Amino acid sequence: DAGVTQSPTHLIKTRGQHVTLRCSPISGHKSVSWYQQVLGQGPQFIFQYYEKEERGRGNFPDRFSARQFPNYSSELNVNALLLGDSALYLCASSLDGAAGYSGANVLTFGAGSRLTVL
Amino acid sequence: SQKIEQNSEALNIQEGKTATLTCNYTNYSPAYLQWYRQDPGRGPVFLLLIRENEKEKRKERLKVTFDTTLKQSLFHITASQPADSATYLCALASGSSNTGKLIFGQGTTLQVKP
């Protein structure tokens, strides 16, 4: 069974450009979360989606947006790239993320997309 | 403000010894705490979860403790091996949150020398 897959694995952009990162969750997982990890830091939460609805948003500007498709795959979009957006972008899937769910949210991460902004 | 802190300095130990990593948090009331392992260039991998009403959890050579009074978790690797060398992350989620948002510490890098 395939794990969480992300594409592309590496990409280089210049300031002001736009980027789209893609993620396919583990089969059967309905929730996808996106995290940004800057070198030397822990992952920082950007978004969570469950059943195509946004369930949570971290402290990121509106240049960051995401969506989830009927097959539970997801895209993260970043507009007007800045040098500070250079990071490893991680996608994670989990079984549930429904409102009111109080179970532990154990995440399965993909290998990430390494974005470099020049 | 809410904070979760891990030792930023790398931990270097000799093979066979016990490694102990620390995770401290402030201004949280987490329902559970998780530990992940991350290798260079890879995504974090889940290791253990401990709930607020549990004092200790074990899995093979791994042991996690959770002290909600001290607001601290300790992560132990006994009989450490060079293959245990990696960065270890602790993560919290609030019991009131249904977003699945995890707050991660900055991670502690463990280097086990043969």
Summarize the confidence of residues A92-99 as an average pLDDT.
Answer: 76
Share of chain A above pLDDT 90, in %: 79
pLDDT score for A95: 81
Contacts for B49 with CB less than 8 Å, ≥ 6 apart: A104, A106, B32, B33, B34, B35, B57
The Cα of B3 is separated from the nearest Cα of chain A by a number of Å equal to 12
The Cα of A33 is separated from the nearest Cα of chain B by a number of Å equal to 8
Nearest C-alpha in B relative to A5: B43
Summarize the confidence of residues A74-79 as an average pLDDT.
Answer: 98
Query: How far, in whole angstroms, is CA B4 from its chain's centroid?
Result: 11
Residue by residue, DSSP assigns A32-81 as: EEEEEE-TTS--EEEEEEETTEEEEE-S--TTEEEEE-TTS-EEEEE-S-
Summarize the confidence of residues B66-80 as an average pLDDT.
Answer: 95
Summarize the confidence of residues A9-16 as an average pLDDT.
Answer: 98
pLDDT score for A76: 98
The string of pLDDT tens digits covering residues B53-63 is: 898 999 999 99
Summarize the confidence of residues B66-90 as an average pLDDT.
Answer: 96
More confident residue, A115 or B51: A115
Beta bridge partners of B72: B24, B67
pLDDT score for A97: 61
Is the CB of residue A49 less than 8 Å from the CB of residue A55? yes
* Inter-chain CB proximity B101 and A31 less than 8 Å: no
User: Given a cut of 90, is residue A38 above it in pLDDT?
Assistant: yes
User: Given a cut of 80, is residue B91 above it in pLDDT?
Assistant: yes
Beta bridge partners of B87: B38, B109
pLDDT score for A96: 72
The Cα of B62 is separated from the nearest Cα of chain A by a number of Å equal to 17
In the stretch 31-70 of chain B, residues with CB closer than 8 A to chain A read: 31-32, 34, 41-46, 49, 51
* Inter-chain CB proximity A104 and B103 less than 8 Å: no
pLDDT score for A2: 78
Maximum CA extent, chain B: 44
* Inter-chain CB proximity A42 and B89 less than 8 Å: yes
Q: What gap in Å lies between CA A25 and CA A4, rounded to an integer?
A: 5
CB of B81 less than 8 A from some CB of A: no
Share of chain B above pLDDT 90, in %: 71
* Inter-chain CB proximity A42 and B107 less than 8 Å: yes
Q: Tell me the count of A-B CB pairs closer than 8 A.
A: 78
Share of chain A above pLDDT 70, in %: 93
CB of B105 less than 8 A from some CB of A: yes
pLDDT score for B28: 79
CB of B93 less than 8 A from some CB of A: yes
CB of A105 less than 8 A from some CB of B: yes
Strands A19-24, A5-7: pairing is antiparallel
